[in-house]
Homo-oligomer: A and B are copies of this chain.
Amino acid sequence: MSRLCVHTITTKPLSLEQCLAEFPKRGVSGITIWRQALEGRDLSAVKRQTADSGMEVISLCRGGFFPSATAAGRQAAIDDNMKAIEQAHAIGAPLIVLVCGAVPGQPLTESRKQIADGIAAVLPAAEQAGVRLAIEPLHPMYADDRSAVNTMRQAHEICDALGSPKSDGIAVAVYHAWWDPELKSQNDLAGQKGRLHAFHICDWKTPTADLLNDRGLMGEGCIDIREISDWVDATGFTGHREVEIFSNKWWSSDQNDFLDQIASSYAQLYS
């Protein structure tokens, strides 16, 4: 369990305080904090409370959403990412995961250019703050309005275009990438280039009832999570495996039972 991390969004009905209290009872050793959970809170208090919980802060979710049809929109996105960098620094999160963004109807090539420009604009501040950024390629079913970056290959291309800065890497999520025939080779490349910054797990259910909020608990679906996890570890990755589940079904269940099931399915997966 020393590598088990849970995202606050996974147990969305719980407050941050409840997450900090309940996660460690199941042996969870890392927490990724979503920005919603920080609203109205004193960030230095959050940093202290998290340290007191015994858990490590793995990352802050999420930055990104750089593309916009207007220059003002793109500047607002950059401003928001600058704020995220400040928040990450304040709570001691070493990493921000980027959901890169897309604008319906705007050519994907243009959105990808705006994403690269946006990351370039905030990278110096991130480096200054000691915060790394991770591009999370999203499943192609989100290419319309969530991310024009849909494969690891594309994430690498953006890292390359930015001159391979050390602070800019990739978050591999099994949910988004499991279908990709290039997943293993692009994962290996990420290892070689020192770009593998984060690893997210959950499962793909058959059928999937909702594009956004019907992700499965590990074992509920068809993804060979262990195989992908082994590929990731083979690159030398020793970071946490982050459980990130958006699920109307699980959110409407008892969250303590859900956490028990997360811990047991994780233990079974890595036994």
Interface of A, secondary structure class, is: loop
Specify which of A154, A179, A206 lies most central, judged by the most chain B CB atoms within 10 Å of its CB.
A179
Instruction: Report the separation of the CA atoms of residues A207 and B210 in the bound assembly, to the nearest whole angstrom.
Output: 11
- Tell me whether A145 and B206 are in contact in the complex, defined as CB-CB below 8 angstroms, given that A140-B139, A179-B150 are known contacts: yes
Q: Is the CB of B151 within 8 A of A181?
A: yes
A139-B141, A140-B141, A144-B206 are known; give 8 further A-B pairs, CB within 8 A: A139-B140, A143-B179, A144-B221, A144-B222, A145-B206, A150-B179, A150-B181, A151-B181
Residue A107 lies at the interface, judged by CB distance under 8 Å to chain B: yes
Chain A, residues 139-181, CB within 8 Å of chain B (1/0): the string is: 1110111000011011000000000000000000000001111
Rounded to whole Å, the gap between the CB of A105 and the closest CB of chain B is: 5
How many whole Å from A183's CB to the nearest CB in chain B?
10
Query: What residues on B are CB-neighbors of A207 within 8 Å?
Result: 145, 211
CB pair A208 B206 closer than 8 Å: no
Residues of chain B contacted by A43 (CB below 8 angstroms):
none
A47 CB → nearest B CB, Å: 36
How far is it, in angstroms, between the C-alpha of A34 and the C-alpha of B178 when the chains are bound? 31
Contacts of A140 in B (CB 8 A): 139-141, 179-180
Q: In the assembly, what is the distance between CA of A264 and CA of B105, in Å?
A: 20
**With A151-B181, A211-B211 as given contacts, are A104 and B141 in contact (CB-CB < 8 Å)?**
no
Supply 8 A–B pairs (Cβ within 8 Å), ascending by A.
A104-B206, A107-B224, A140-B179, A143-B179, A153-B181, A154-B181, A208-B211, A211-B211
